[in-house]
Structure 1
Amino acid sequence: MKVLVAMSGGVDSSVAAGLLVEQGHEVVGATLKLWGGIADSGCCSVGDVDDARRVAQILRIDHHVFNYSEEFERHVVGPFVQGHASGQSPNPCIECNRHIKFDLLFERARRLGFDFVATGHHARVLTRDAETCLVRGVDTQKDQSYVLGYLTSDELSMLLLPIGEMNKSAVRAHAERLGLRTWDKPDSQDVCFIESTKGREVFLRQRIELTPAKLVDRSSGEVIGSTAAAELMTVGQRRGVLPDRDGAKRYVARVDLAAHTVEVGRLADVLISRIDLDPTSLTSARGTLVDGVRYFAQWSSHGRVQPVTLHLSTRCHVVLDTPARPVAPGQTLVLYRYDEPTIVEGAAIVTLA
């Protein structure tokens, strides 16, 4: 088979390419140039491109760099900035996967005559009941099925995830055996287009006017403090929020940019039992999301799953079995099959209640 491997310069995609070469496939590596600005983290730096190129040389495969920086600005960076400007907290990694890696890259792979596209994500593509399904990776600590939750069955049928059956230590060990320079390279942790030394505030302040706001206790109405940038306050967070007088932790419950107000409260005061979803963003991997059916839901990359009931006939939302901390609008909620909670069923974007 002819396989195009998306090589980020990290150990996971390096081993994905190596495994496919060992299996005898015709493999070509491709690194995506996504960010035209300064980057010192993630998969957008010059060093990452160089690492991918050198791995390809060791594996004796062709390597190309595809420039999608304009598309990345349009589909990922722009919505990230505008989302914050409207009080939302979008996930740029998911948007990159949706619009760049599994849209533009797939389109180019088809045009160039490739049979499959492969990535180094910790997830699996399996066939269940004659249907192609996205399934959690074997390494539950590194599972990345959440960030792939929007993939359709057509996209999954063209996708190979070679390291999905491996844990991270096995991936690194295999890279070392192959003599790949990325075998001990640290995992990327940050948003790739934001310099880790400067952070989100500096990035956003260069692009939008940030909003000063009062921090208001939800139960008492008391103003307990202030913030210079309400756009940096994420619903559900407690970092940077003053505790109550008795030391109880407070959490962000709501960000109202128009009113220059951030509502906060004790955990008991901010818990939610319903999450509203944007129906236009709802995607089903197998076209089988059903009104009134129970699923497991996950709404952060490494968050716990929660049992929920999906409602489609009235305003699209899920009802949680157990109340949870509030979820930031703009985040993605991924649904997993209730009777087999490793299988992804669909995804949607969280909206304001």
Structure 2
Amino acid sequence: MSDTPLTDRIAAELDLGVPKGARVVVAMSGGVDSSVTAALVHRAGYDAVGITLQLYDHGAAIQKKGACCAGQDIHDARRVSEALGIPHYVLDYEDRFGEQVMEEFADTYLAGATPIPCVRCNERVKFKDLLETARDLGAFAMATGHYIRRTDDEDGLALRRAADAGKDQSYFLFSTTKEQLGFLRFPLGDLPKSVTRELATELGLVVADKPDSQDICFVPEGKYASVVERLRPGASRPGEIVHIDGTVLGRHMGVIHYTVGQRRGLDIGGLAEPIYVVRLDADKAQVIVGPKTALDVAGVTLDEVNWLGDDSAADIPVRVKVRSTRPPEPATVRIEGRRATVTFDEPQEGVAPGQACVFYAVDETDDRVLGGGWIRQTVRVPLAEVS
């Protein structure tokens, strides 16, 4: 067994594709993943510079636990940087984060869709504004603590799923462009999370035992509706809970309190079978409900499509994820510019507008991420076909 510390062994093999000694900006959220990333980049012989973003209300941030980019997290990132002996800067991105992420989050919920603000943050803030700042600082690359892999070989740049399938974050990074991929690096993509924790402990980092963030950073305890109401006071209106057969079953206090696929919290009794939220009609302030079979979807239409594959001229067999926690399922995609139509081989359940549909290579042994898009409409399976 080697006497060389594990950190040094992994760092010795870390090749970021830029000259040793070159400046590499590390996006540091204050968590264990980005802290270990900074340590590896530094130990590997690069000029590591840590940057942390202040993204939302300073007062609320200090009180918020279990989320990235909060007050305590900024303090932790600073302490880690000091321990590593690397420069650390905090940039106030609160205004642009509010405009480009939080405002859309509220409007999407009010429109009856289910947003994913973490994707928008990566797309519009971290991989756009922060990346540009890294270039301005003379960096040759920007490293993050995401669990995803980037390869650059004879076939060109490719985005690939993480080696640790349980931590893979490709669903949240589908909008990463090839241009951005040329500048980004993901040192943890080949590591299991258990090894990342081991490295943090070996290095004596103050964040070694820090829990992973679970919530959306600006949504305390997962209470989405309260955030929407704060951002859009009075915008949500009560309405009817309507069965797909047209029967009015009850009242609700606003569509922002519901998501597609939801079963609990409907407060409707006396029915012969369980019912689920099938869709939300924000214009009519209606929550439409029905049996589980009514959740089946045959396909989706997408916009803001980012395609990382080689050919998008015809129907392309792929595998797709319509939820971050689901495995990829076979489908066919037809791309037309920034729009696409996806047809599932088998109906998918509980697909919601506002979510992402992410494309993967059709071969299960091929871990390439081929891009994705935002779900704007669903194509439902006629009930007669699934009853």
Give TM-score scaled by structure 2 length: 0.85
Note if contact 2:250-2:268 (Cα within 8 Å) is conserved in structure 1. Answer: no
One-letter amino acid of the structure 1 residue matched with residue 27 of structure 2:
A
Displacement of 1:242 after TM fit?
Answer: 5.6
Displacement of 1:244 after TM fit?
Answer: 8.0
Ranges in structure 1 where 5+ consecutive residues have no aligned partner = none
1:8-23 equivalences in 2 (<5 Å): 8-23=29-44
1:71-220 equivalences in 2 (<5 Å): 71-196=96-221, 199-208=223-232, 209-218=235-244, 220=245
| Partners of 2:223 and 2:73 in 1: CA distance | 20
1:294-333 equivalences in 2 (<5 Å): 294-312=317-335, 316-333=340-357
Could you say what secondary structure the match of 1:8 adopts?
Answer: coil
Ranges in structure 2 where 5+ consecutive residues have no aligned partner = 1-21, 379-387
One-letter amino acid of the structure 2 residue matched with residue 212 of structure 1:
P
Displacement of 1:193 after TM fit?
Answer: 0.9
Distance 1:167 1:81, change over 3 A: same
Displacement of 1:207 after TM fit?
Answer: 2.5
Could you say which residue in structure 2 is the equivalent of 1:338?
A: 362
| Partners of 2:253 and 2:313 in 1: CA distance | 43
| Partners of 2:135 and 2:87 in 1: CA distance | 17
| Partners of 1:192 and 1:29 in 2: CA distance | 20
Note if contact 2:56-2:98 (Cα within 8 Å) is conserved in structure 1. Answer: yes
Distance 1:184 1:210, change over 3 A: same
Could you say which residue in structure 2 is the equivalent of 1:2?
A: 23
| Partners of 1:189 and 1:241 in 2: CA distance | 25
One-letter amino acid of the structure 1 residue matched with residue 36 of structure 2:
V
Which residue of the other structure, out of 209, 231, 237, is the alignment partner of 2:256?
231
| Partners of 2:351 and 2:335 in 1: CA distance | 19
Give TM-score scaled by structure 1 length: 0.93
Displacement of 1:245 after TM fit?
Answer: 5.5
Which residue of the other structure, out of 285, 299, 310, is the alignment partner of 2:308?
285
* Greater relative contact order, per chain length (Cα 8 Å cut-off, separation 6+): 1
Aligned residues: percent identity?
36
Distance 1:177 1:313, change over 3 A: closer
Which residue of the other structure, out of 10, 20, 36, is the alignment partner of 2:57?
36
Displacement of 1:60 after TM fit?
Answer: 0.7
Distance 1:170 1:70, change over 3 A: same
Could you say what secondary structure the match of 1:135 adopts?
Answer: strand
Note if contact 1:289-1:346 (Cα within 8 Å) is conserved in structure 2. Answer: no
Which residue of the other structure, out of 300, 311, 314, is the alignment partner of 1:275?
300
Note if contact 1:244-1:250 (Cα within 8 Å) is conserved in structure 2. Answer: no
Displacement of 1:205 after TM fit?
Answer: 1.4
